[in-house]
Amino acid sequence: MTFSFKTLHTHGRARTGTLTTPHGTVYTPAMTIVATRGTVKAVTARDLLELGVQLVIANTYHLMLRPGAETVETLGGLHEMMAWPRTTFTDSGGFQVFSLGSSIRDGVGKVGSIFPDEDEESSRPAAPQGASLVKIDEDGVAFRSHIDGSPQRLGPESSLRIQAQLGADIVVAFDECTSPLDSYDYTKEAMERTHRWAVRSLDAFAKYGSGAQRIYGIVQGGAYEDLRVASAVTIGALPFWGCCIGGSLGKSKADMFDILDWTLPRLPPEKPRHLLGIGEIEDIFQSVARGIDTFDCIIPTRWARNGWLMLTPPAARAEYPDTPQPRCHLNILNAKHDTDRAPIDPHCTCFTCRNHSRGYLRHLFKTRELLAYTLATLHNVHYYVQLMAAIRAAIARGELAALYHAYTGRTLTVA
Amino acid sequence: MTFSFKTLHTHGRARTGTLTTPHGTVYTPAMTIVATRGTVKAVTARDLLELGVQLVIANTYHLMLRPGAETVETLGGLHEMMAWPRTTFTDSGGFQVFSLGSSIRDGVGKVGSIFPDEDEESSRPAAPQGASLVKIDEDGVAFRSHIDGSPQRLGPESSLRIQAQLGADIVVAFDECTSPLDSYDYTKEAMERTHRWAVRSLDAFAKYGSGAQRIYGIVQGGAYEDLRVASAVTIGALPFWGCCIGGSLGKSKADMFDILDWTLPRLPPEKPRHLLGIGEIEDIFQSVARGIDTFDCIIPTRWARNGWLMLTPPAARAEYPDTPQPRCHLNILNAKHDTDRAPIDPHCTCFTCRNHSRGYLRHLFKTRELLAYTLATLHNVHYYVQLMAAIRAAIARGELAALYHAYTGRTLTVA
């Protein structure tokens, strides 16, 4: 068997492990770098390998629209097309259908995963505003493309068929993604539909999936404790290879941590657990402490393209000495970096910090030079890769709280 | 002495040589890759080194406006700022003042050098249309910034002072760049002013230049034989370290080749000769055959970002079998590349061709993914580096005409 998931160390509910696929072994906890349209924006596959990136996540919704699942399949599937020899995920497209292929939920469906915005058209729906563009029935979802307004459908069968064509190592069941503003009754109804779709996703995966893929289920249930518990029990009992925590994670970080506390103890410990769309430093630590193995988030790459460049804590303290809580990034567009010959972070060993000054990066950002986005992405992805390695080491040594305190100045309970 | 220029082989008027600066030896003929604002768009310094790029050219006009010459100097100069350890040129800014800092010459001043367009604001002057924004007097040129309309001045002294601050290995005298539409009388007047500015550029270079720089003069004279001859004799006799051929190179390729035939025999053979802003395949061969040592041109990088990807001749013949004259590039946006699993060019050994298909590149271009511009630039720059190496080898073997025929299907006279 070419797939395996093994726990190496535990520390409270936190754990390290190995997630092995036909494309290599991922050391967990790990950050999945976002490659929405089959590319991590602004960097080459070689850059990613050299940075130590272990896995990337592409998106069913985006790739079905452009270039189309058949085209990706003809081009050899995601790995060959991207020249990416390591592990690949695809998300099912459920979240994007509800956030991008829609105008009825604008502004309320952004919790849980923020990577739909990775597509530059995301805030400009092609269809008239106010029209209800997403129609949900038992079969699936009808929606309009956010690119050209063309009518589209996606459901468990089509999502899994497309994911088989894309050919990622790990695929995900098709789900309905609710909003934090949805009522208890609607969230329950949607969750139950998601559970029925989970069974159909497993059937479709058995039909379409190559033997070289594995499927994760998605736990839904919004911010309602009994629903999250019910969903964790249901999804955990189905023969998925791993479990995602998806959907609305509430209205605050406290809500999100509660949801993880309700959910994770109900999931089978032998299965890997992926938290969709989360990536702030504090959230990573808090989620890892509760037993999450993998994440995906646009923060490393999106922040880079905004000019928000990550700082390790000693660098952050030197940079912002008067801030009681050290910042985790600087804004390179700040005028004070104009003539600064220092690197982003004197503690960083990435290509950008070894070679270029803040002043040069600011010039590249001010003039919108393409190299700005490449250099910034190299730095931020390097930061996340190193952060996750430090977290794995801290779990192995039983020192996760100390590492969290070093990064945030705050206290983490590991139990 | 850390600077030297030596001829290694001659073949008719064509020659190979070594141009040595404190930042390494350039084997000539060589293509200078354009780094207008202190970056070769979309690729890192490491990429350039690995591609075998020998020298890059940055621009005084662009850098004096953003980030400013003082800032570049504070950041350690061009080499340190760009992390570029090899040879660097700067153009004097003369051409850009007349083409970008102006609206009176719009559309007529684009011959000779096309890299001002490299700045994305070039076609959107900030000042009102129709206003005469460029005022020439004996002292220099007053113009308005194409970015914010602010009043600016540039002349021999300020250009050379700025070029000393930028710190390139090779700097260039400040000149007035005339248009092919200018009269004989005006072209003569401008040329004579350029000659007076050449002397002042030398004086300013002696005052401001570090010992680690050398200066090229610029031959002007438009498409008028007696003026080109007079300018070549005048500039050639001044104590410049090398000579550029600049300004209007006429209205056709035939005009340009005539201008080179008038000019090059009058230049001292021991000095290196740079042809400003030229880079089409045919033009490179024709210019090399007449004795040009170095070029700069935006074609490798600009065409890449347009999706025009270079094809070596056998690949071009296979791609376009019905074309009597093989094309030198394909347009990756062409729908026929949609599902093509082949690389751009099966004969190419660049990173892009070793790893990615035409179909994937088309997808990246269609979705405007930043990786598109990086992969295309890597390919096109690789093509030009390999082309120049092949030209050097052909000169050494006395086979330049055969190589030209292989690339273009046409005949080249080497005499």
d(CA B321, CA B343): 18
Tell whether the model's pLDDT for residue B159 goes beyond 70.
Answer: yes
d(CA A41, CA A386): 20
ipTM: 0.94
Q: A41 and B370: CB-CB below 8 Å?
A: yes
Q: Is B124 on the interface with A (CB under 8 A)?
A: no
**Closest chain A residue by Cα to residue B340:** A75
For the segment B138-161, the average pLDDT, to the nearest whole number, is: 94
d(CA A190, CA A138): 10
Q: Given pLDDT bands bounded at 50, 70 and 90, which one contains residue B331?
A: very high
Q: Is B33 on the interface with A (CB under 8 A)?
A: no
Strand partners, A217: A243
Interface of B with A in 68-107 (CB under 8 A): 70-71, 74-76, 80-83
Q: A81 and B357: CB-CB below 8 Å?
A: yes
Amino acid letter, B37: R
Residues of A in contact with B70 (CB under 8 A): 339
- Our CA-based measurement puts residue A366 at a distance from the nearest CA of chain B, in whole angstroms, of 8
Q: Tell me what pLDDT residue A101 has.
A: 65
Q: End-to-end alpha-carbon separation of chain B, Å? A: 33
Token duo for residue A21: 């696929």
Q: Is A367 on the interface with B (CB under 8 A)?
A: yes
Q: Tell me what pLDDT residue A1 has.
A: 57
Residue-wise pLDDT for A258-271, tens only, equals 999 999 999 999 99
**Closest chain B residue by Cα to residue A62:** B367
d(CA B265, CA B219): 13
What is the residue whose two structure tokens read 């088989």? A164
What is the residue whose two structure tokens read 């289920």? A217
Q: Which helix or strand (DSSP H or E) is residue A158 part of?
A: helix A156-166
Residues of A in contact with B339 (CB under 8 A): 70-71, 74-75
Tell whether the model's pLDDT for residue B94 goes beyond 90.
Answer: no
Tell whether the model's pLDDT for residue B126 goes beyond 50.
Answer: no
Kindly give the parts of chain A with pLDDT less than 70. Answer: 1, 101-132
Q: Please list, in sequence order, all residues whose beta carbon lies within 8 angstroms of the beta carbon of residue A71, skipping any fewer than 6 positions away.
A: B338, B339, B359, B363
Q: B44 and A359: CB-CB below 8 Å?
A: no
Q: A75 and B359: CB-CB below 8 Å?
A: yes
Tell whether the model's pLDDT for residue B210 goes beyond 50.
Answer: yes
Q: How many CB pairs under 8 A join A and B?
A: 118
Q: Is B336 on the interface with A (CB under 8 A)?
A: no
Tell whether the model's pLDDT for residue B107 goes beyond 70.
Answer: no
Q: Is B44 on the interface with A (CB under 8 A)?
A: yes
Specify whether B296 is catalytic: yes
The closest of A75, A70, A291, A294 to A165, measured between CA atoms, is: A70
Q: Tell me what pLDDT residue A127 has.
A: 38
Specify whether A296 is catalytic: yes
The β-bridge relationship of strands B273-275 and B294-297 is parallel
Q: Is A165 on the interface with B (CB under 8 A)?
A: no
Task: Answer yes or no: are the C-beta atoms of B256 and B230 closer than 8 Å.
Answer: no
The closest of B235, B107, B129, B119 to B179, measured between CA atoms, is: B107
Q: A375 and B37: CB-CB below 8 Å?
A: no
Q: A81 and B356: CB-CB below 8 Å?
A: yes
Residues of B in contact with A80 (CB under 8 A): 357
Catalytic residue among B182, B293, B296, B345: B296
Task: Answer yes or no: are the C-beta atoms of B117 and B302 closer than 8 Å.
Answer: yes
Strand partners, A299: none
- Distance of CA A257 to CAs A231, A293, B392, Å? 17, 15, 66
Tell whether the model's pLDDT for residue B259 goes beyond 80.
Answer: yes
Amino acid letter, B72: V
The DSSP annotation for B309-332 comes to EE--HHHHHHHSTT-SS--SEEET
- Our CA-based measurement puts residue A19 at a distance from the nearest CA of chain B, in whole angstroms, of 26
Set out the domains of chain B in order of their start, with CATH numbers: 4-297 (3.20.20.105), 310-408 (no CATH)
Sheet with B24-28, strands from edge to edge, namely B4-11, B14-21, B24-28
The closest of B59, B51, B62 to B34, measured between CA atoms, is: B59
**Closest by Cβ to A67, choosing from B80, B363, B373:** B363
- Our CA-based measurement puts residue B370 at a distance from the nearest CA of chain A, in whole angstroms, of 5
Compare B408 and B5 and report the one with higher pLDDT.
B5
Q: Is A370 on the interface with B (CB under 8 A)?
A: yes
Q: Tell me what pLDDT residue B325 has.
A: 75
Q: Please list, in sequence order, all residues whose beta carbon lies within 8 angstroms of the beta carbon of residue B413, skipping any fewer than 6 positions away.
A: B289, B401
The β-bridge relationship of strands A4-11 and A294-297 is unpaired
- Distance of CA A346 to CAs A76, A221, A316, A384, A400, Å? 42, 44, 10, 16, 24
Q: Is B344 on the interface with A (CB under 8 A)?
A: no
pTM, two decimal places:
0.94
Q: Tell me what pLDDT residue B101 has.
A: 64
HSE-CB at B36 with a 13 A cutoff on CA atoms is 27
Q: B375 and A44: CB-CB below 8 Å?
A: yes
